[in-house]
């Protein structure tokens, strides 16, 4: 079935296949990346808190270095800037957050773009297919063989279907990945608030 569709879809069908393959690769790469980056924030903060209460800053930084993800990097930033006071730590965390969020959103724009242009690419293939139909009618008249006319109609329908088939999963995948990014950002905000309060309390002791 698929080879038949490819043969009838024309050159635009191959471009849609390439776009679909790129979208799948981006989705899988981002999915694995977010899986590595998202940690149990509560357990991590509790572990850092226990170490800092023993005034073991070096071990706390080592825990952050050994833990993947933006949450750990933000906590490390806060610890390294602990001498700057509450507001200084907040400023350092805000600056670090401005670096971390774009890292999380990296390549999502590509997935969204493929989702947006895939139907347009399919529409272009449809137009090219009907152009072929009218070319055959112009050269051979109304007596043109149905098989020649069918080729253009095939291309038109196949490209339309392929464009939608690529776009729909792209939109679904993009929205899912955005929800994962939002979850990690919420974890970052919670961790930032927790570590600021923790460092402030420790400085009062």
Coil, strand or helix at 169? helix
pLDDT given for residue 4 in this prediction: 62
167 to each of 47, 179, 202, how far by Cα in Å? 44, 19, 52
CA-to-CA distance for 132 and 164, rounded, in angstroms? Answer: 22
pLDDT of 34 strictly over 80: yes
Dump pLDDT digits (tens) for 133-159.
Answer: 777 777 776 666 766 667 777 778 888
| Crossing angle of the two packed helices 11-37 and 108-140, in degrees rounded to 10 | 170
- What is this structure's pTM? 0.85
Write the DSSP assignment of 53-106 as a string of letters.
HTT-HHHHHHHHHHS-SHHHHHHHHHHHTGGGHHHHHHHHHHHHHHHHHHHHHT
The whole-number average pLDDT for the span 112-136 is: 87
Domain ranges of the chain: 2-204
């Amino acid at each position: 079935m698929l080879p038949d569709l490819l043969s009838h879809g024309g050159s635009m069908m191959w471009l849609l296949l390439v776009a679909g393959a790129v979208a799948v690769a981006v989705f899988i790469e981002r999915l694995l990346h977010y899986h590595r980056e998202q940690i149990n924030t509560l357990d991590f903060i509790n572990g850092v808190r226990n170490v800092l209460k023993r005034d073991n800053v070096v071990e706390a930084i080592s825990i952050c270095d050994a833990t993947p993800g933006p949450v750990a990097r933000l906590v490390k930033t806060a610890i390294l800037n602990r001498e700057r006071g509450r507001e200084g730590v907040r400023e350092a965390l805000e600056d670090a957050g401005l670096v971390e969020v774009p890292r999380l959103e990296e390549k999502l724009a590509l997935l969204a773009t493929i989702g947006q242009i895939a139907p347009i690419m399919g529409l272009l293939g449809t137009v090219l297919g009907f152009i072929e139909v009218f070319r055959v009618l112009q050269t051979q008249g109304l007596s043109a063989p149905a098989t020649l006319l069918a080729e253009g109609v095939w291309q038109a329908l196949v490209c339309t279907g392929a464009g939608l088939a690529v776009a729909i999963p792209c939109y679904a995948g993009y929205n899912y990945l955005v929800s994962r990014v939002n979850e990690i950002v919420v974890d970052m905000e919670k961790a930032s608030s927790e570590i600021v309060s923790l460092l402030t309390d420790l400085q009062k002791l």
